Chain A
Amino acid sequence: MFGRARSRGLLSALGMILLSLIAVFLPAGAQQQIGHALRESLLKPFVEVHVAITQVRSRARDYDILRAQMDSATGFMANHRTLAEENRQLRSILSLGDRPEVTYIPAAITRQTATGSASVFRVGVGSQQGVPPFSAVVTDGGLLGQVQQVYSGYALAFDWSHPGFRASAMTTDGFNHGIVETEQGQFREQDRLVIRGVHFLSELDPGTEILTSGRGGTFPRGVRIGWVAGVAETRAGWSKSYYVTPAVYPGAVTYAVVAVTTPVPATDTSVAGTPVDSATAGSP
């Protein structure tokens, strides 16, 4: 009797282990649905508390820092107020097409520390606010990462330290292009950003600023990624790779904007839009 009960228990345990292996090999869509269902039911109160704590922390940010950032932004806007019009006129003279319009949606950034969620963060806006998958997540420092999964009220994104991160990049003068990706080190702390595929004859000095080039249309053009730190690899006669010091350290970010790129109608000649005021663009 006892033996039969035990063998029944063993069978059910083996069944559970088999189920767990099925969970590993489920299609990504099914896995995302299960995760979403759990996050929106059982875990929702805990997630809400985490979002509230993060918002309180970010609101308690030093007033002087915010004031300095606002002063810099005001000065920048004052100096560049006529640029949009000049740009429009020049593009018209050169018969260039319009650049895609970019809308910036402010969002609170929260991180989970569960196993398997390294490099993943939660963005406080989703499809309800018009965020499509693969949009860029940008901070005042530069590019933070990319949205991957979008749900009605939030989205999940990964930062530049994720092995799947790729961004087409260029130097500020636009002469040198490449693809920025993460190079994994032996230890997590040794992970570095690398720009690959730069022309072999190029010489990028340490400190050269690297921006998104906008190629492929995923990321808006001109978002800072980082600065060249040194040569990583040389492929004789073909290309060079350079280490890049990132502009943004993901762990410190609590607030960002999601850059949503929308195609501009042929008759519209406006250039890239300005960031939407966080007070009017919906709460994060």
Chain B
Amino acid sequence: MTVRVATLTASLILVHLTLRVALGLGNEAPDLFLIAVLIGSRHLSLGAGAALGFGLGLVEDSFAMSSFGATVFALTVAGTAGAQTRHLFVGNSWTFLICYFGLGKLIRDLLAWLASDPAIRNTFADQFVFESPLLAIYAGVVGTLISLLALRGTLRG
């Protein structure tokens, strides 16, 4: 991981905490934790990518009164998958990046939903008909813009 990528990942984490915790914004703010995991893990080993997801998942879940661990699990898997993608997908075109971040968000939401307490989680239709697809598009666009603007020339493959 280069200094530039590490700085970007740390900045995304800081901005996410500022927007979501300090300013109390909900889904108006993109899921920058996920974007940080997906960007960082592509420059890390499998274990380190999983550890990054695990750590950020713990922070995200610290406010969860029920279903603690659902985000930890989802982001750990996302970090592992993100680290693996650099061996499978080569390229840094905007189409790849949009699919990478968008699908990453959908899979993260699906995993978190599966690991959540069935008694309190949203219904599948509520979560995946409107909310998650829209948030996936949002994460895809924001993640792509950040990658193209901040990591120009450093993206691998």
Interface residue ranges, A against B (CB under 8 Å): 5-6, 8-13, 15-17, 19-21, 23-26, 28, 31, 34-36, 38-39, 42-43, 45-47, 49-50, 53-54, 110-117, 120, 148-149, 156, 158, 162-164, 184, 186-188
CB <8 Å contact, A116 and B80: no
Stretch binding the partner chain, chosen from B41-49, B137-145, B147-155:
B41-49
Residues of B near A188 (CB, < 8 A) are 122, 126
Cα separation A19 to B71 with both chains bound (whole Å): 13
CB within 8 A of B46: which of A12, A25, A43, A112?
A12
Given contacts A13-B49, A112-B21, A114-B20, contact A35 B54 (CB under 8 A): no
Residues of A near B25 (CB, < 8 A) are 113
CB <8 Å contact, B120 and A162: yes
CB <8 Å contact, B50 and A13: yes
CB <8 Å contact, B72 and A24: yes
A-B contact pairs, 18 of them (CB 8 A): A8-B47, A9-B46, A12-B45, A16-B50, A16-B51, A16-B79, A19-B76, A20-B57, A20-B76, A24-B68, A28-B68, A35-B63, A39-B63, A46-B17, A53-B24, A116-B60, A116-B71, A186-B125
CB <8 Å contact, B20 and A38: no
> Which residues 24-83 of B have a CB within 8 angstroms of A?
24-27, 45-51, 53-54, 57-73, 76-77, 79-80, 83
Cα separation A39 to B65 with both chains bound (whole Å): 12
CB within 8 A of B70: which of A34, A45, A115?
A115
Cα separation A251 to B63 with both chains bound (whole Å): 17
The SS class assigned to the A binding surface is: helix
Residues of B near A23 (CB, < 8 A) are 58, 61, 68-69, 72-73
The SS class assigned to the B binding surface is: helix
Given contacts A115-B70, A116-B70, A162-B120, contact A17 B24 (CB under 8 A): no
Q: Which of B22, B60, B71, B125 has the most CB of A within 10 A?
A: B22
Residues of A near B22 (CB, < 8 A) are 45-47, 49-50, 53
Residues of B near A13 (CB, < 8 A) are 46-47, 49-50, 79-80, 83
Residues of B near A45 (CB, < 8 A) are 22
> Which residues 117-142 of B have a CB within 8 angstroms of A?
119-120, 122-123, 125-126
CB within 8 A of B61: which of A25, A47, A115, A149?
A115
CB <8 Å contact, A114 and B68: no
CB <8 Å contact, B54 and A16: yes
- In the complex, what's the smallest C-beta–C-beta distance from A169 to chain B, in angstroms? 22
Q: Which of B49, B64, B77 has the most CB of A within 10 A?
A: B64
CB <8 Å contact, A115 and B60: yes
Given contacts A46-B22, A112-B24, A115-B71, contact A164 B59 (CB under 8 A): no
Residues of B near A110 (CB, < 8 A) are 24
Given contacts A9-B47, A13-B49, contact A120 B65 (CB under 8 A): yes
- In the complex, what's the smallest C-beta–C-beta distance from B45 to chain A, in angstroms? 4
Residues of A near B59 (CB, < 8 A) are 38, 42-43
- 18 further A-B contacts with Cβ under 8 Å, apart from A43-B17, A114-B64, are A10-B47, A11-B47, A16-B47, A16-B51, A16-B53, A16-B76, A23-B72, A24-B68, A24-B115, A25-B69, A26-B69, A35-B61, A42-B59, A43-B62, A50-B23, A111-B24, A113-B27, A148-B65
- In the complex, what's the smallest C-beta–C-beta distance from B57 to chain A, in angstroms? 7
Cα separation A282 to B86 with both chains bound (whole Å): 55
Cα separation A237 to B122 with both chains bound (whole Å): 33
CB <8 Å contact, A46 and B18: yes
CB <8 Å contact, B62 and A34: yes
Cα separation A53 to B23 with both chains bound (whole Å): 8
CB <8 Å contact, B45 and A114: no
Q: Does B116 contact A (CB under 8 A)?
A: yes
Cα separation A32 to B116 with both chains bound (whole Å): 16
